[in-house]
Amino acid sequence: MGAAFKETKLPADAPAGHKALAWVDDRFPLSKLWNDQWGKYYAPKNFNIWYLFGSLAMLILVLQIVTGIFLTMHYKPDASLAFGSVEYIMREVPWGWLVRYMHSTGASAFFIVVYLHMTRGLLYGSYRKPRELIWIFGFAIFLCLMAEAFFGYLLPWGQMSYWGAQVIVNLFGAIPIIGPDLSLWIRGDYVVSDATLNRFFAFHVIALPLVLLGLVAAHLIALHEVGSNNPDGIEVKDHIGPDGHPLDAIPSHPYYSTKDLFGVSMFLLIFSAVVFFAPEMGGYFLEYNNFIPADSMKTPPHIAPTWYFTPFYSVLRATTADFIFVLMAAIVLYVVFIWIKSRLSYKAKIATAVIALILLVGMLTLEAKFWGVVLFGSSVVIIGALPWLDHSPVRSIRYRPNWHMWLYVLFGMAFVALGYLGTQLPTPAYTMISQVCTLLYFSFFLLMPWWSAAGRFKPVPTRVTFHPH
């Protein structure tokens, strides 16, 4: 038989709210969930502004779900009605223009905040042991966001939506053997059509949001299981006080609740300014061609994805037939470097050489478009491998050699340059710059096992550095 039900007894004069909460807690662990996940979750006391972006990402996720629900009340997932329904939302639905602009601006804001959140993890080594799984869940969230944004990109059924989807789906056709059938399966037709719109709508509105919410929950549970990292990269759990809590940690509520509220206020101020005064952001947030109905008979002069895809899109465009030979030379040099510098076993080095040989043969036999797709995918996937690429003896950039910071700056400049070049027409000069930035991008990750452990590291303090203010 089950244990007997025990109800919390409160004084007769206890406030009604306390009685209601006690009644709920006896039947559902509401207070326990709050305390475990935030109220009494102890976080390092030396958090800085970089640690605002996690809570901002959660805010934007809620904002996108709420505005998306209101948009679906009026949107028609039909090729003949979709564009008109968006215009109806903008012109006829009360405050519809505001909801639509909040959703479109929110998409870009989401990626800005997520990119900054990932930058913080990169700078302070938040992906290092024991937080590898937190990074993997976060990376999966990033992939899910990219898919969610891609599926939502087609829904307005404007010129750039239509042709952007056409170009991206056709990329899968470059995969040998299964490519054409895979493209056909994704589209649901031989061209982007009503069938494509319907399945993209289903994924954007139902399937991916459910997956995204599950991944966010897993990300937070994993974070609160091992504890948060901090700018010093020190484990605060190594110094426990007499109360059983870390000496260098404080409860998230109210200390970080107030800081997060301030960050939310600043974000909403900037977000509102964009929504009300520059929702298109010069064509970067909403392309001007997307205010023209989709026309399968008229191709826009320059097709480019939204800005948050352009760094990876630039890698794709940079992979020309001539650039393949540069990549082949880079592979040979990398294998030679591994044989000279790596501490891998002899068998592992042989395996590396065999894989490189297969790649070299493939580059000579398969067209550049296929390898562009491979590099496009690899440029995203390689981010997830960071926990196993970084061999630094310390986590935080604070205690690494000063020249490490310049490598991070160079990597950041290459990434931003790729993002900008992806929005421009592919002139010969821009293509060459994209190719150089592509090499820098991959070199940052592939050479990380060596450069991350090189140089003179600064002594790491035993306790976090904190200056009260």
Task: Name the binding residues for a ubiquinone.
Answer: 224
Query: CA–CA distance from 227 to each of 4, 131, 223, 365 (Å)?
Result: 35, 9, 6, 49
C-alpha span between 138 and 120 (Å, rounded): 13
Is 270 exposed, middle or buried (CB count within 10 Å of its CB: 0-12, 13-18, 19+)? exposed
Tokens of 319: 């992979």
Helix orientation angle between 96-124 and 132-154, rounded to the nearest 10 degrees: 150
Token output for 320: 């020309």
DSSP class of residue 465 equals: -
Cβ atoms of 317 and 305 closer than 8 Å: no
Alpha carbon distance 86, 93 (integer Å): 10
Cα torsion angle, 36, 40, 45, 49, sign: positive
* Six-digit token string for 276: 């009300």
Torsion angle (degrees, nearest 10) of CA 282, 284, 289, 295 = -170
250, β-bridge pairs: 43
Q: Which residues contact residue 26 at a Cβ distance below 8 angstroms, ignoring those fewer than 6 apart?
A: 5, 6, 7, 8
Distance of CA 344 to the CA centre of its chain: 32
> Which residue from 362, 367, 335 is spatially nearest to 351, judged by alpha carbons?
335
Could you write out the DSSP letters of every residue in 442-461?
HHHHHTHHHHTT-SPPPPPP
Which segments are annotated as binding site? Answer: 103, 117, 204, 219, 224
Q: C-alpha 278: how far from its chain's center?
A: 24
Return binding residues for heme b: 103, 117, 204, 219
Using the structure block, give the residue that is written with the tokens 């966001």: 145
| Residue type at position 292 | I
Residues 6+ apart with CB under 8 A from 135: 121, 126, 127, 384, 386, 387
State the Cα angle at 262 between 261 and 268, rounded to 5°: 85
Pick left, alpha or beta for residue 252 (phi over 0 → left; psi -120 to 50 → alpha; otherwise beta): alpha
